[in-house]
Structures are given as structure tokens and as C-alpha cells.
């Protein structure tokens, strides 16, 4: 594989927000003292009347976003993942997801976090949110996205703005490789087949999509045809693409920078076990917290939890061997 | 526009009864906190809140956010009274399939906020208020927060934010009832100065210990502190809050949990418990027999009526009775509307203007303009047509409509058709004209004749006893059906108006307790009497009520 082009999700998010700000006067953006870090302060400079920085008060951030949405605004509320689902789950549930105006489900708030997963790096385990998918996908009315790259961030931000209802989207802190083409379509509840294959499947999300592609390449060298899915839409999950993968490839490895309990892997396992059960192996944080790692060491932290291309390929092979 | 005092009071009573019905039928719910904010909601729904019950989503409506969501029965009952849904629907509260969920929910059109998880309503309200500012809308957001929920840190996050963004289109009420689920707030997490000892009731008697207002002031809020059960104070505070620009306002409302029912008042047990069916009729009687003390200032120093008004204010009277005499209808002359207008700025206590003048129809507008909250005119100088005119003018101006009869006057038949919309009927028990006369005993039998006429004609106002009412006879006057009491010599004529009023209240209270015991005895004999007494666990009430029951031979 060629060296990937690396790009920053937060800058892309900021750019998308500013575009939305121009397109739709109802878009409002809220932050909690991380607005420079998340780049959303750019929106604030262009649209000061529609930008609110509530300070280090995430519960307040979430509930004010809900109040704005109750009055017809499209609220984008952002801070680090650890402080959103990780901190304000009561407000997320009771102030955004639960209130359902006539004929609608939940309020029109988009929670977009940065610094998801282990790749947060140096800040350490206290800041590495590995539970947010589990928390967010069990809350009724919420839809959950994990974008793999900046193309995804841009398209999903627009998608969330145009689609009524509560969404959670988690971005990574560090620059990420671009895996999708600009023409890639994103639909709610539809996974993307990034690479086709017939012998096994790796279902990935976020930064692990690129790793999965690398794993597929390794498997290719061993004569194994591996399918790679970008399961960016974790809720709703794409049952169809998963059943197809199960039927056609016979086994699925899941991979994510999230606890293996309750995350994307769990969602895949739930789906496949009901449609077409096949062996599944979940790769992710091994039900233990993360720890500090400098940017140059993040791969070591990920490796500690088995989140590497090599391990993905290895697990895929093992699953395949079980079947043969 | 007038205060609309009597209409607000009537609807507050209706709402309180619906809270009892709702929680009793549901078998659970929160009457205590619904009652502590009853007058606040009453003032909002019946005076200040802009809404359209037929079009709950009307974009320019004001928004009411009940942050202390457990008081849902209080919100729903006011919505029922306001016509959002039929009053009968209140009986579906907390039941499967009902729009009236255990906590306020958008499932019920007109509800603005899904409450339940405490401490979040203020932040939500800020969101609504900010949206209104972005859209240049001038609707207002009213938020009611509890003192228990003020333990939540998010309340203070919101307090800072509202201040930062100058959210002056938001007015918060703190329902300061001093009780949360476990116990008294000052025991669980003090908001005020630390309280020593166990006599928590001392806390709210001593205003110097209230520090909650200081907290909000230090967060940059405009703080108004009021008695949260006084309609006129709530009304004045809302008006002031709405006129305050550049900062949010909080109205710290000192309230009593379970207000209006002796056994619930100040009793933490009634935070979240429903009344039993057998006591509901007694409770309704108690709600029906709330009473008002209306000192008549002409019994004081006529040369310094300003001071007499001030004495009523310090005495914490409910109303101030203003006897206007023209020297024609009655031989004496007192003062007219010009004087009333001069007195008006001294207090917000409702002016209970009693016109003992000829041709009242010619003057009624003057008395409305002067700031009367109710204007009572005499049967002897009105007829169907002129009273009809007076009635309509007063209603138009949201001023109470009163009708008075002299001791030797029977209620004229032409007046029957007005009885259902009358706010007050003054039954004179002295010949009007001067202060200091003796109560005419014949009034007792007249009252019983009147009561049947009033019942037949759906009178829902208040009977005011006027003339010679004193500590000796006020108990029996209450038993006759009077619910407002004019006190001349017996109150204003006393050196200490405050203690005279307190004495009046205590005697009426005793008479009311006896009446409720009668009711319990009628409905369920000594078992129910005992149960009723047993409910009164706070302070010395139980012993006092027991003593009355013994005197009556019910025990």
C-alpha cells in the first residue's frame, strides 16, 4: 500500500460547521473550553451569535444544546469524548434522547466528540474514552457514527445536519489516513465495503479501517481474500452487509479502539448471531484502561491491546482455519 | 389591568383539588412540592404566561420549564384548569397509556420540558432563551427550580452561564420550601446559614438567616425575595423581573411544602406520597376553607391612613379593607378614590375596596384606576342593570367583583344570576356607617339562609364578614361560612396589629379544625377521626387537634 495522506479530523469538522453555518441559520455550535482544541472556535468567529462556550461544564453544555434544539435550532455540541458520554450521560439521555416532540424521536442535537479511544495517547488512561460506543448505542433514539477519515467527517457532519434527531459522532485526536474517495457516499445504517473479498471479513471503524486494509493486504500475500468493511454507522448497524459477509466469507474479525465489551464488535456479534451465525473475533481494548503513550508510541499502546494489522490478519487466519 | 387576585385564587384552589384527585387516583405522586408552588403556577397560568391551550405549539408562546419535575401533578392540574385537556383526564396520571406521565413529558402537548432528573431545567431554559434571542423573539422563559435540586452542581453551572450571556428573557423561581426527599434541606445540604438544633421551623421565621439570595446575587443574578404563597407578591415580582434588562432574575420564593393542608405543611413525609381515599373529602373541605383577614383601616387614625396601611403590612394582613363612605349612603364620610390612589404605592397587598356610596356605577372606574383589587358595591344602591354594568367593567379590568348587603337587606332575587361569577359577598353584621359597633347576632341565622341560596346558584366566591367581628365571635362566623373577615377595632384598633391578626388566624384555625373533625366523624366515625388526627405529625398540631376532638366527644 502507498503511504497514506494524513489529515486532521477536527479541522475538517470545523470547516464543515462553517459551511453549515452559511447554509443554515439554525445551526448553532456549543463548546466547553475545548473550542480551540476542537477548532470549533472558527465557527464562533464567523457566527458569534450562534456560538456558545459554556466553560468546563459538560452537563450544562449538553442540556443547553437540548434547550436550543427544543426551540428549532440544530445544535452541534462538542468536546472530548471522555467528557461527553463519559461524563454527561444523564443529560444526554434525559435532555436529548428522551424528550420527543410530537411525531419525532429525541431532540435535534448532534454530539460530536474528539479524542476518542486509545489513540488519545499522552494524556493517558483518564482521557482515553473506550466506553462511549457502549454508552451511546444503548440510549434509544441516538444514532452513532465513528468516522474513519476526514472524508467521512465532512460527509457525516452534513448528513447529521440534514437528518433530524440526536446523533453521536466520535473523532480521533491525531491525524488519520484518508481511506475514502471524495465521491464515497455515506448513508445512515449502511456500512461501506472498502475492499471486497471472499475468504474472511474484517469489520472496522475509525482509525482501524486503514489497519484492516493493511491486514487484508498481508492476507492477500498468503492467498487469502479478505473483505474489509467500514462500519462507521454503529447504530443503526448495517445488518444486511453483515449477513452478506457472514454468508459469503464465513467469519468476521471486528476491530476498534474501544472496549471489546459493548462496542462495534458487540454490535456486529449481536447482528450476525441473529441473522447468520459465524465465528467472530473481537479486537479492541481488552477490558482494561489505556495509559499514556507519546505520539510516536501510540502504536505500542494499540499493540498492547492487539489493535494491529498483524493481529487482525492473524485472527482472521485463525478463524478461517477453524472453519476449514 | 388589575391583579385578578380572586380569579387566580379560585384557579389555584381548583388546581390544588386536582392534585389531590390525581395523586389519590394514581396511588403515588408528589403533592407536597405541587402545593408549595401552587400560587406561583397560579400567577403564571392566570396572569403572566402567554399561551394558547388550543395551539400548544404556538411559536410566540412563553415557555414554562418545571425543573423540579416531580411536582408534575401541580403542572398538569394547572394545565387542566387552563384548558389544555379536560379536567377528568387528570385521573389518568401515572397510568399506562396516559399522556400524564409520572414526570412532565412532551407526550402531553403544552409541556415544554421532560423533567425528572433534577438540576437540568435551568440549563435547558437557557437554551430556549438563547434561541429566542437568536431569533429576535420576545417570548419569555419561566423556570421553576426546587431547593432540594439546588444540591445539583449543574444548577450553578447554569447560573453562571445565564449571567455570562445576559439571559434577561429568563425568570427563574426558587421554590424554597425547605424540604427534600430525605428530610429538611438544611439538614441534608444547607443552602442557608447552618441551623443548630432541631427546630427547623425557626429557620423560615428568621429572614436574617436566608443566604440563598446572596448565592444567586454573587452569581450575577437580579434577586427578588418574596413570600411564595402571596399572589400579589408573586405578581409584583414577575412584573419587576420582566422589566429588568441585562441580567437574569431569580425570584426566591419562600414557600411551605404541602401548603394549605395542615397535615402536609412542612412535613417531609408528603414529599412523595398520595393521600388515602377516605381522607380526600376532608382534605377538600380544608382546601375550601382557606381564609383571609382584611383589617379595616378606618378603625385607626383617620388623619394618618398611610401609617394604618403600614401597620397592616407589618401585621401581614391578607387584604386591606378600605371603607369608602360618602356621607349620603351612610351618614359618615371617610375618603374616596383619591386617597386610595395615594395609599396604593405603599404596599402590594390587595385593596379590598368597599363602596358605601350612592350611585356606585358612576364611580367604579375611579376605584379601578385608584388600584383596587376588588370593588364591592351595595345591593341597596344598585339594580340589575347598574350592577350588571359594574360587574362587566370590573371583570374587564381583572378586578374582583363584590356585592354587599346590609343587616336588614336580603339578597335581592335579581342578583342570583350574578352569584356564580361573584368574587365576594359582604354580609354586613353591623349597620354600616361607623366603626366600633357590636356584631348583630341575627346574622348567624341569616348566613344559613344565604348559604342555601348561594349553593343553589353556584356561588364560588368568598363570603366576607364585616362588622363587629372579634376574637369571641370569629370562630362561629367562620362556622357560618364566612371566609374573609374584616377586622376594625379588633385588629386596627389594637396596639399590635400583627399579634391581633395572628390571634384572629388562630381562632379561625381552631374553628376550622373542629369543622374538619366533624366531617371526619360524619364520614367514618372515631376511626377516621383518629386517622385524621394521626396525620398531623408536625409540631404541636396533633395535641391541639386531639384536644378539640375530645371536647367534641369524638374520642
pLDDT digits (tens, 9 = 90+) for B23-74: 999 999 999 999 999 999 999 999 999 999 999 999 999 999 999 999 999 9
Contact B131 A99 (CB under 8 A): no
Determine whether A58 is an active site residue: yes
Compute the Cα dihedral for B257, A99, B99, A235 and give only its sign. Answer: negative
Q: Once rounded to an integer, what is the mean pLDDT over residues B210-214?
A: 90
Residue of A7, A8, A22 lying closest to A161 (CA atoms): A22
Give the chain B residue whose CA is nearest to the CA of A56. Answer: B157
Q: Is B338 helix (H, G, I), strand (E, B) or coil?
A: helix
In chain A, residues 73-102 whose CB comes closer than 8 Å to chain B: 73, 75, 90-91, 94-95, 98-102
B260: part of which helix (H) or strand (E)? none
- β-bridge mates for residue B355, sequence order: B324
Dist. CA B436–CA B302, nearest whole Å = 14
Question: Cα distance from A75 to chain B (closest Cα, Å)?
Answer: 10
- What is the percent of chain B where pLDDT is above 90? 92
Q: What is the 3-state secondary structure (H, E, C) of B475-494?
A: HHHHHHCCCEEEEHHHHHCC
Q: Which fold has domain A6-177?
A: Rossmann fold (3.40.50)
Q: Where do the domains of chain A lie? A: 6-177, 192-323
Question: Closest Cα of chain B to A31: distance in Å?
Answer: 12
Interface test with A, best of B60, B120, B155, B163 (most A CBs within 10 A): B120
Predicted confidence (pLDDT) per residue in B158-196, tens digit: 999 999 999 999 999 999 999 999 988 888 998 987 666
The interface predicted TM-score of the complex, written ipTM, equals 0.96
CB contact B525 to A (< 8 Å): no
Give me the residue from B106, B123, B153 closest to A67, CB to CB: B123
Tell me which residue has cell 395551539: B55
Q: A63 touching B, CB under 8 A? A: yes
User: Which one is catalytic: A58, A131, A214, A256?
Assistant: A58
Verify whether the Cβ–Cβ distance A55 to B123 is below 8 Å.
no
Residue B160: alpha-carbon gap to chain centroid? 32
- Min mean pLDDT across A27-36, B142-151, B203-212, B224-233 is at B203-212
Tell me how close the Cα of B56 comes to any Cα of chain A, in angstroms. Answer: 11
Q: Which helix (H) or strand (E) holds B335?
A: none
What pLDDT, in 10s, does the model give residues B423-472?
A: 999 999 999 987 778 999 999 999 999 999 999 999 999 999 999 999 99
Question: Cβ contact (<8 Å) for B124 and A66?
Answer: yes
Q: Which of B55, B102, B110, B123 to mutate to test the interface with A (most CBs of A within 10 A)?
A: B123
The CATH code belonging to domain A192-323 is 3.40.50.920
- Chain A residues within 8 A of B127 when measuring between CB atoms: 63-71, 73, 75
Q: What is the pLDDT of residue B531?
A: 98
CB contact (8 A) between residue A66 and residue B127 = yes
How many Cβ atoms from other residues are within 10 Å of residue B61's Cβ? Answer: 17
A-proximal residues of B, 40-99, CB under 8 Å: 57
Helix (H, G, I), strand (E, B) or coil at B265: coil
Kindly identify which residue of chain B lies nearest to residue A57, measuring between CA atoms.
B157
Question: In what helix (H) or strand (E) does residue B302 lie, and over which residues does it extend?
Answer: none
Is B513's pLDDT higher than 80?
yes
E-assigned strands of B345-458?
Answer: 351-356, 374-378, 400-405, 424-428
How far apart, in whole angstroms, are the C-alpha atoms of residue A174 and residue A120? 7
Please, what are the domains in chain B?
5-272 (3.40.50.970), 288-513 (3.20.20.70)
Query: Length of chain A, please?
Result: 324
Whole-structure pTM value: 0.96
* Residues in chain A closer than 8 A to B129 (CB atoms): 67
Say what the pLDDT of residue A108 is: 98
Residue A316 CA to residue B124 CA, distance in Å, equals 48
What was the pLDDT predicted at A219? 98
Strand (E) or helix (H) holding B289: none
C-alpha cell at B440: 348583630
For residues A86 and A133, is the Cβ–Cβ distance under 8 A? no
Q: Is A52 in Cβ contact with B154 (below 8 Å)?
A: no
Place of cell 464488535: A265
CB–CB of A64 and B112 under 8 A? no
Amino acid at each position: 500500500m502507498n503511504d497514506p495522506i494524513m489529515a486532521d479530523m477536527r479541522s475538517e469538522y470545523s470547516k464543515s460547521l462553517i459551511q453549515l453555518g452559511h447554509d443554515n441559520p439554525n445551526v448553532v455550535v456549543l463548546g466547553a473550553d475545548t473550542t480551540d482544541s476542537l477548532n470549533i472556535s472558527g465557527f464562533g468567529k464567523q457566527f458569534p451569535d450562534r456560538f456558545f462556550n459554556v466553560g468546563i461544564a459538560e452537563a450544562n453544555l449538553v442540556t443547553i444544546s437540548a434547550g436550543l434544539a427544543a426551540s428549532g435550532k440544530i445544535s452541534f455540541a462538542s468536546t472530548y469524548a471522555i467528557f461527553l458520554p463519559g461524563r454527561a450521560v444523564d443529560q444526554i439521555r434525559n435532555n436529548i434522547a428522551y424528550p420527543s416532540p410530537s411525531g419525532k424521536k429525541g431532540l435535534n442535537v448532534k454530539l460530536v466528540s474528539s479524542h476518542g479511544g486509545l489513540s488519545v495517547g499522552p494524556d493517558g488512561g483518564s482521557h482515553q474514552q473506550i466506553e462511549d460506543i457502549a454508552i451511546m448505542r444503548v440510549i434509544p433514539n441516538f444514532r452513532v457514527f465513528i468516522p474513519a477519515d476526514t472524508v467521512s467527517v465532512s460527509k457525516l457532519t452534513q448528513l447529521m445536519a440534514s437528518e433530524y434527531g440526536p446523533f453521536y459522532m466520535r473523532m480521533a485526536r491525531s491525524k488519520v489516513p484518508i481511506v475514502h474517495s471524495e465521491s464515497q457516499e455515506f448513508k445512515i445504517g449502511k456500512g461501506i465495503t472498502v475492499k471486497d473479498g471472499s475468504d474472511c471479513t474484517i469489520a472496522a471503524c475509525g482509525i482501524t479501517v486503514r489497519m484492516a486494509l493493511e491486514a487484508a493486504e498481508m492476507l492477500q500475500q498468503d492467498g487469502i481474500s479478505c473483505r474489509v468493511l467500514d462500519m462507521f454507522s454503529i447504530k443503526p448497524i448495517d445488518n444486511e452487509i453483515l449477513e452478506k459477509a457472514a454468508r459469503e466469507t464465513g467469519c468476521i474479525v471486528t476491530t476498534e479502539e474501544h472496549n471489546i465489551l459493548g462496542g462495534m464488535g458487540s454490535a456486529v456479534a449481536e447482528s450476525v448471531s441473529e441473522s447468520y451465525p459465524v465465528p467472530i473475533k473481537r479486537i479492541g481494548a481488552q477490558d482494561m484502561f489505556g495509559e499514556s503513550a507519546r505520539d510516536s508510541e501510540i502504536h505500542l499502546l494499540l499493540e498492547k491491546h492487539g489493535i494491529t494489522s498483524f493481529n487482525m490478519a492473524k485472527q482472521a487466519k485463525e478463524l478461517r482455519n477453524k472453519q476449514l | 389591568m388589575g391583579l385578578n387576585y380572586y380569579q387566580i385564587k379560585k384557579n389555584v384552589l381548583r388546581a390544588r383539588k386536582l392534585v389531590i384527585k390525581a395523586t389519590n387516583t394514581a396511588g403515588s405522586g408528589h403533592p407536597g412540592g405541587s402545593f408549595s408552588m401552587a400560587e406561583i403556577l397560579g400567577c403564571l397560568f392566570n396572569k403572566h404566561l402567554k399561551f394558547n391551550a388550543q395551539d400548544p405549539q404556538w411559536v410566540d408562546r412563553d415557555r414554562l420549564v418545571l425543573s423540579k419535575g416531580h411536582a408534575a401533578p401541580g403542572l398538569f392540574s394547572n394545565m387542566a384548569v387552563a384548558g389544555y385537556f379536560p379536567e377528568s383526564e387528570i385521573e389518568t396520571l401515572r397510568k399506562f397509556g396516559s399522556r400524564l406521565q409520572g414526570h412532565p413529558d412532551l407526550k402531553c402537548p403544552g409541556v415544554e420540558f421532560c423533567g425528572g432528573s433534577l438540576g437540568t431545567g435551568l440549563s435547558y431554559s437557557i437554551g430556549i432563551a438563547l434561541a429566542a434571542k437568536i431569533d429576535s423573539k420576545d417570548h419569555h422563559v419561566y423556570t421553576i427550580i426546587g431547593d432540594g435540586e439546588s444540591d445539583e452542581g449543574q444548577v450553578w453551572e447554569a447560573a453562571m452561564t445565564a449571567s455570562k450571556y445576559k439571559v434577561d428573557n429568563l425568570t427563574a423561581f426558587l421554590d424554597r420550601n425547605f424540604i427534600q426527599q430525605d428530610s429538611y434541606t438544611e439538614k441534608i445540604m444547607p443552602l442557608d446559614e447552618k441551623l443548630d438544633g432541631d427546630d427547623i421551623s425557626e429557620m423560615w421565621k428568621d429572614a436574617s438567616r436566608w443566604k440563598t439570595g446572596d448565592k444567586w446575587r454573587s452569581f450575577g443574578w437580579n434577586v427578588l425575595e418574596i413570600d411564595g404563597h402571596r399572589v400579589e407578591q408573586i405578581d409584583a415580582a414577575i412584573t419587576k423581573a420582566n422589566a429588568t434588562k441585562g441580567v437574569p432574575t431569580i425570584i426566591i420564593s419562600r414557600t411551605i411544602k404541602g401548603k394549605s393542608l395542615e397535615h402536609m405543611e412542612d412535613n417531609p413525609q408528603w414529599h412523595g406520597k398520595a393521600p388515602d381515599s377516605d381522607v380526600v373529602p376532608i382534605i377538600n373541605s380544608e382546601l375550601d376553607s382557606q381564609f383571609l383577614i382584611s383589617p379595616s383601616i378606618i378603625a385607626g387614625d383617620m388623619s394618618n391612613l398611610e401609617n394604618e396601611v403600614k401597620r397592616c403590612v407589618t401585621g401581614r394582613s391578607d387584604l386591606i379593607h378600605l371603607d369608602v363612605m360618602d356621607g349620603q349612603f351612610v351618614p359618615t364620610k371617610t375618603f374616596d378614590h383619591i386617597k386610595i390612589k395615594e395609599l396604593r404605592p405603599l404596599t402590594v397587598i390587595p385593596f379590598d375596596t368597599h363602596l358605601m356610596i350612592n350611585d356606585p356605577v358612576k364611580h367604579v372606574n375611579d376605584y379601578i384606576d385608584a388600584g383596587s383589587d376588588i370593588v364591592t358595591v351595595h345591593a341597596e344602591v344598585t339594580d340589575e342593570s347598574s350592577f350588571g354594568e359594574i360587574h362587566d367593567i370590573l371583570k374587564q379590568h381583572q378586578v374582583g367583583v363584590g356585592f354587599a348587603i346590609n343587616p336588614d337587606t336580603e339578597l335581592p332575587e335579581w342578583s342570583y344570576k350574578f352569584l356564580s361569577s361573584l368574587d365576594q359577598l359582604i354580609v354586613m353584621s353591623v349597620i354600616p356607617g361607623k366603626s366600633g359597633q357590636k356584631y348583630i347576632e341575627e346574622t348567624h341565622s341569616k348566613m344559613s339562609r344565604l348559604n342555601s341560596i348561594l349553593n343553589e346558584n353556584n356561588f364560588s366566591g368568598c363570603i366576607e364578614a364585616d362588622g363587629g367581628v372579634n376574637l369571641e365571635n370569629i370562630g362561629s362566623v367562620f362556622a357560618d361560612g364566612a371566609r374573609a373577615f374584616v377586622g376594625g377595632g379588633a385588629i386596627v384598633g389594637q396596639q399590635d396589629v400583627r399579634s391581633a391578626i395572628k390571634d384572629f388566624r388562630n381562632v379561625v384555625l381552631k374553628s376550622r379544625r373542629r369543622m374538619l373533625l366533624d366531617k371526619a366523624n360524619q364520614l367514618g366515625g372515631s376511626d377516621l377521626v383518629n386517622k385524621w388526627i394521626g396525620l398531623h405529625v408536625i409540631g404541636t398540631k396533633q395535641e391541639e387537634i386531639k384536644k378539640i376532638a375530645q371536647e367534641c366527644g369524638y374520642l
